[in-house]
Structure 1
Amino acid sequence: MAADELPLDDKAKRMRDLLSSFYSPEPSLAASASAKSASLDAINSTSFDPDLYMNLLVQKSNLEGLLQKHVEMAAEIKNLDTDLQMLVYENYNKFISATDTIKRMKNNIVGMEANMEQLLEKIMSVQSKSDGVNTSLFERREHIEKLHRTRNLLRKVQFIYDLPTRLGKCIKSEAYADAVRFYTGAMPIFKAYGESSFQDCKRASEEAIGIIINNLQVKLYSDSEPVAARADAVVLLKQLDFPVDSLKTKLLEKLQHFLSEFQIESREAETILSNPDEPFKAGGFSDSVPSIPPEASTNQVSIGDFSESVRAYRIIFPDSESRLIELAQALFTKRFETIQQRMKKKVSSADLLVMLRGIWTDVTLMDEVLPEAALPTFSLEAARAAIKQFVSSSFSHLLLEVSDALAKVKTKSKEGLEELSLLQVALESGKKAVIQGSMDLLLGFRQLLDDGLELLVKLRDLIIDWVQEGFQDFFSSLDDRFHLLSGSNTSANQDPSSMDGRQADKVLTGLVLVLAQLSIFIEQSAIPRITEEIAASFSGGGMRGYEYGPAFVPGEICRIFRYAGEKFLHLYIHMKTQKISIILKKRFTTPNWIKHKEPREVHMFVDILLQELEAIGTEVNQILPRGLVRKHRRSDSAGSTASIRSNPIREDKMARTNTQRARSQLLESHLAKLFKQKMEIFTKVEHTQESVVSTIVKLCLKSLQEFVRLQTFNRSGFQQIQVDIQFLRNPLKENVDDEAAIDFLLDEVIVAAAERCLDPIALEPAILDKLIQAKLAKRKEQKPSH
Structure 2
Amino acid sequence: MAADDVPLDDKAKRMRDLLSSFYSTDQTSVTNSNPVSSKYATLDTINSPSFDPDNYMNLLVQKSNLETLLQRHVEMAAEIKNLDTDLQMLVYENYNKFISATETIKRMNSNIVGMEANMEQLLEKILSVQSRSDGVNTSLFEKRGHIEKLHRTRNLLRKIQFIYDLPERLGKCIKSEAYADAVKFYTGAMPIFKAYGDSSFQDCKKASEDAISIIIKNLQEKLFSDSESIQARAEAVMLLKQLDIPVGNMKDRLFEKLEQSLVDVQLHFDGKIAYPANSDESAKQESPDHNFTAHEVSTSELVEAIRAYRVIFPDSEQELIRISHDLVIKHFETIVKHIRNQISSLDLLGMLRLVWDDVLMIDDVLPEASLADVCLEAANHAVKVYISGSFSHLLQEISNSLMKVQNSQKETVKEEHSLQIILEASKKAVIQGSMGVLLNFRHLLDDSRPLLNRLRDLIVDWVQEGFQDFFISLYNRFLLLSGKSSSVAPDLVFRDSIQGDKTYAGLVLVLAQLSVFIDQNAIPRITEEIATSFSGGSVRGYESGPAFVPAEICRIYRSAAETFLHLYIKMKTQRVSVLLKKRFTATNWIKHKAPREVHMFVDLLLQELEGVQSEIKQLLPEAPSRKHRRADSISNGSTSSSRSTPLRDDRQLARSNTQKARSQLLESHLAKLFKQKMEIFTKVDATQDSVVTTIVKLCLKSLQEFARLQTFNRSGFQQIQLDIQFLRISIKDNVEDEAAVDFLLEEVVVAAAERCLEAISLDPAVLDRLIQVKLEKSKEQTPTNDP
Residue in structure 2 matched with residue 691 of structure 1 by the alignment:
690
Tell me the number of residue pairs that the alignment of Structure 1 and Structure 2 aligns. 547
Deviations 1:539-562 (A, max 9, x none): 111312344332111122112212
Residues 300 and 534 of structure 1: CA distance in aligned 2, closer, same or farther (over 3 Å)? closer
Residues 451 and 299 of structure 1: CA distance in aligned 2, closer, same or farther (over 3 Å)? closer
Matched AA of 2:738: E
Matched AA of 2:768: D
Preserved CA contact (<8 Å) 2:265 2:295: no
Preserved CA contact (<8 Å) 1:219 1:233: no
Residues 546 and 658 of structure 1: CA distance in aligned 2, closer, same or farther (over 3 Å)? same
Residue in structure 1 matched with residue 537 of structure 2 by the alignment:
541
Compute the displacement of 1:299 (Å): 6.6
Preserved CA contact (<8 Å) 1:588 1:707: yes
Deviations 1:577-636 (A, max 9, x none): 111111211222112222221212211221111111011111111110111231423479
Task: Identify which of 358, 361, 364 aligns with 2:357.
Answer: 361
Matched AA of 2:549: V
Deviations 1:170-209 (A, max 9, x none): xxx999xxxxxxxxxxxxxxxxxxxxxxxxxxxxxxxxxx
**1:620 and 2:616 correspond:** yes
**1:440 and 2:451 correspond:** no
Aligned-partner Cα distance in 2 for 1:621–1:653: 40
Aligned-partner Cα distance in 1 for 2:371–2:471: 37
Residue in structure 1 matched with residue 272 of structure 2 by the alignment:
265
Residues 226 and 767 of structure 1: CA distance in aligned 2, closer, same or farther (over 3 Å)? closer
Matched AA of 2:681: F
Aligned-partner Cα distance in 2 for 1:358–1:370: 18
Q: State the TM-score, normalized to the length of structure 1.
A: 0.64
Aligned-partner Cα distance in 2 for 1:278–1:592: 90
Residue in structure 2 matched with residue 16 of structure 1 by the alignment:
none
Task: Identify which of 331, 340, 346 aligns with 1:350.
Answer: 346
Aligned-partner Cα distance in 1 for 2:303–2:622: 71
Residue in structure 1 matched with residue 373 of structure 2 by the alignment:
377
Q: What SS does the corresponding residue of 2:691 show, helix, strand or coil?
A: helix
Matched AA of 1:472: Q
**1:781 and 2:780 correspond:** yes
Residue in structure 2 matched with residue 767 of structure 1 by the alignment:
766
Residue in structure 2 matched with residue 309 of structure 1 by the alignment:
305
Compute the displacement of 1:223 (Å): 9.5
Aligned-partner Cα distance in 2 for 1:739–1:646: 15
Structure 1 portions without partners, runs of 5+: 1-172, 176-210, 283-296, 493-501, 637-641
**1:561 and 2:568 correspond:** no
Preserved CA contact (<8 Å) 2:732 2:738: yes
Compute the displacement of 1:415 (Å): 3.5
Preserved CA contact (<8 Å) 2:237 2:247: no
Which structure 2 residues correspond to residues 264-303 of structure 1 after superposition, within 5 A?
265-266=272-273, 273-274=283-284, 276-278=286-288, 298=294, 301-303=297-299
Matched AA of 1:246: R
Aligned-partner Cα distance in 1 for 2:600–2:643: 29
**1:253 and 2:260 correspond:** yes
Compute the displacement of 1:752 (Å): 0.8
Which structure 2 residues correspond to residues 729-768 of structure 1 after superposition, within 5 A?
729-768=728-767
Residue in structure 1 matched with residue 422 of structure 2 by the alignment:
426
Preserved CA contact (<8 Å) 1:281 1:303: no
Which structure 2 residues correspond to residues 322-721 of structure 1 after superposition, within 5 A?
322-490=318-486, 506-634=502-630, 646-721=645-720
Matched AA of 2:715: S
Compute the displacement of 1:754 (Å): 0.9
Preserved CA contact (<8 Å) 1:596 1:717: yes
Q: What SS does the corresponding residue of 1:447 show, helix, strand or coil?
A: helix
Aligned-partner Cα distance in 2 for 1:382–1:505: 42
Preserved CA contact (<8 Å) 1:705 1:749: yes
Aligned-partner Cα distance in 1 for 2:386–2:296: 31
Deviations 1:104-125 (A, max 9, x none): xxxxxxxxxxxxxxxxxxxxxx
Residues 233 and 422 of structure 1: CA distance in aligned 2, closer, same or farther (over 3 Å)? farther
Compute the displacement of 1:687 (Å): 0.9
Compute the displacement of 1:358 (Å): 2.3
Preserved CA contact (<8 Å) 2:261 2:302: no
Matched AA of 2:358: D
Compute the displacement of 1:568 (Å): 1.4
Residue in structure 1 matched with residue 6 of structure 2 by the alignment:
none
Q: What SS does the corresponding residue of 2:270 show, helix, strand or coil?
A: coil
Residues 305 and 388 of structure 1: CA distance in aligned 2, closer, same or farther (over 3 Å)? same
Preserved CA contact (<8 Å) 1:487 1:503: no
Q: What SS does the corresponding residue of 2:623 show, helix, strand or coil?
A: coil
Aligned-partner Cα distance in 2 for 1:432–1:715: 59
Residues 457 and 302 of structure 1: CA distance in aligned 2, closer, same or farther (over 3 Å)? same
Preserved CA contact (<8 Å) 1:231 1:316: no
Compute the displacement of 1:300 (Å): 7.5
Aligned-partner Cα distance in 2 for 1:449–1:489: 39
Preserved CA contact (<8 Å) 1:329 1:378: yes
Aligned-partner Cα distance in 2 for 1:281–1:656: 104
Preserved CA contact (<8 Å) 1:464 1:539: yes
Residue in structure 2 matched with residue 230 of structure 1 by the alignment:
241
Residues 300 and 576 of structure 1: CA distance in aligned 2, closer, same or farther (over 3 Å)? closer
Q: What SS does the corresponding residue of 1:693 show, helix, strand or coil?
A: helix
Aligned-partner Cα distance in 2 for 1:503–1:620: 26
Residues 324 and 715 of structure 1: CA distance in aligned 2, closer, same or farther (over 3 Å)? same
Aligned-partner Cα distance in 1 for 2:628–2:719: 29
Residue in structure 1 matched with residue 112 of structure 2 by the alignment:
none
Preserved CA contact (<8 Å) 1:307 1:369: yes
Aligned-partner Cα distance in 1 for 2:721–2:610: 22
Residue in structure 1 matched with residue 37 of structure 2 by the alignment:
none
What percent identity do the matched residue pairs reach? Answer: 58
Residues 237 and 349 of structure 1: CA distance in aligned 2, closer, same or farther (over 3 Å)? closer
Residues 537 and 593 of structure 1: CA distance in aligned 2, closer, same or farther (over 3 Å)? same
Aligned-partner Cα distance in 2 for 1:540–1:399: 25
C-alpha RMSD of the superposition: 3.4
Q: What SS does the corresponding residue of 1:611 show, helix, strand or coil?
A: helix
Matched AA of 1:533: E
Preserved CA contact (<8 Å) 2:465 2:547: yes
Compute the displacement of 1:258 (Å): 4.0
Matched AA of 1:457: N
Preserved CA contact (<8 Å) 2:306 2:365: yes
Preserved CA contact (<8 Å) 2:387 2:462: yes
Aligned-partner Cα distance in 2 for 1:227–1:467: 52
Preserved CA contact (<8 Å) 2:234 2:312: no
Residues 718 and 377 of structure 1: CA distance in aligned 2, closer, same or farther (over 3 Å)? same
Preserved CA contact (<8 Å) 2:722 2:771: yes
Matched AA of 2:386: F
Structure 2 portions without partners, runs of 5+: 1-188, 192-212, 224-232, 489-497, 633-640
Aligned-partner Cα distance in 1 for 2:290–2:322: 22
Q: State the TM-score, normalized to the length of structure 2.
A: 0.64
